Structure 1
Amino acid sequence: MNKQEFNKEIEKIINILDKNFPEQNFDISSKLYCADLLEDFKFIRKNIKNSELKILDLGCGKGHLSALLSIFLQNRIQAVDLLESFGEGGSFNVESLGERWQDTTWQDFQKNYRVDYEFYNGQTLPYPDQAFDVLIAYAVLEHVENENYFLQECARVLRNNGQLFIFRCPSRLSITENLTKVLKLPHHERLYDQKLLKNLFGQNGFEIKQIKRYDTFPAFIPLKNKQGFWNNLFPVNNILRNLFKISPFNIFAHHFKLLAIKK
């Protein structure tokens, strides 16, 4: 899938999301976020063995990334999220949409994509041991109640030498995180560094094979009616984003992405 095809799929995804909760799609509406997303998907495709794998999207939220993954990887995706998922506080809050707000959106995605969704209790994954070849957790690790139990469950449902991809894991050195905290804007309380991640994964049955910093600038503004302004800056932001990747300043990037293997 090339960039143009990917962007067309993004448009289809946005149409489905807008039908169900139009004010909450500030992330997928951002050109910078989608540029990062395309690189993340390429990172997965480069590292997985084939297209006949059992893949779980863990903490799938609205389910839009699961749908995109099914097209990009040409693979059926199993996806799971909390029984009640109300997003983050402030502008991120989707509680007003009601309990089980994912249901209608998930049904729409299942009609058009090779995805199967289900809820779980946020603790024990509803799958047998060694059920999957690949697990993908996008902006999830920093939100789980118990990191150790979460990773132990990931190891349990992964087959031997199975792959766990973690994306958008916030860094302790992130300019964005530290600035938003000072300004009392939405931010993550739990932040990570490479040593902490290596120890955390190592203690719970994984070995980190690749880890990268990325996403120096905020990928989106958490207000959809302001996203047009941020998208207008995309040509400049994208150039700066690529320059930062190869500069010493990349140490201040917002997130980590990593690939870990079940030991």
Structure 2
Amino acid sequence: MTLPRLAQMHASGEKIAMLTCYDAAFAGLLDEAGVDMLLIGDSLGNVLQGRGSTAPVNLDDMLYHTTCVRRGVKYAFVVADLPFDSYHVSKEEAWKSAAALVKAGAHMVKLEGGGWTTETVRFISERGIPVCAHLGFTPQTVTSLGGFKVQGRDEAGAARIKRESQELVEAGAAMLLYEMVPATLAAEITAASPVPVIGIGAGVGTSGQVLVLHDMLDITQGRKPRFVKNFMAGQDSILGGVKAYVNEVKAGTFPVDAVHGF
């Protein structure tokens, strides 16, 4: 899987299936199941480290897990999160962090937020590293957002997401990711976007979907977001559960907006 192929899938309407992944064993299994993209997410702070947020995850954590995942990958496109405080001080710091993740095996890096991140995206992408820009609900700044809330519901919020999306793509972002935004807004932006748009809690109208692996396998303890579905239900193996996820994403039957709360 390559970035041009992902862009072609977006242009043709072929859905993209993405999941988080943190180790070589799962990377091989997700490859076998036909997952197009693997995200080494700073969500590892929650699901692997037992932390209450992603903020404590550092660059060394991300480098370790990116190296592990890349060892198990043969097919999928690998994206790694730039963790909190690894790209905030300067564009040069952001470049060094992104370059380290690429050296560890990432094909693309992901960072959160718009506005101030635009010039950082430009700086990184102009130097040859593809960037995915994450908008809507941004877990690294959950406190400033007032908790786990859908973003872009009102006219001003929707306009801001549209404006920031355009600015980021013009700056060189090769992919957008929307988390917890209204389905109508995500679908509208996706229809006009020159780059693939991945959704999580953003409805079925995006170019593709991503979920946290542990959530969709129903092994995350405690309450899960409304947009999560247990893909292990009715399956006799993890491989079967992941294949069920891929099949539903590809068919456009997951998520079901009316069921999953968009």
TM-score (norm 1): 0.36
Point out the structure with max Rg over C-alpha. 1
Higher strand proportion: 1
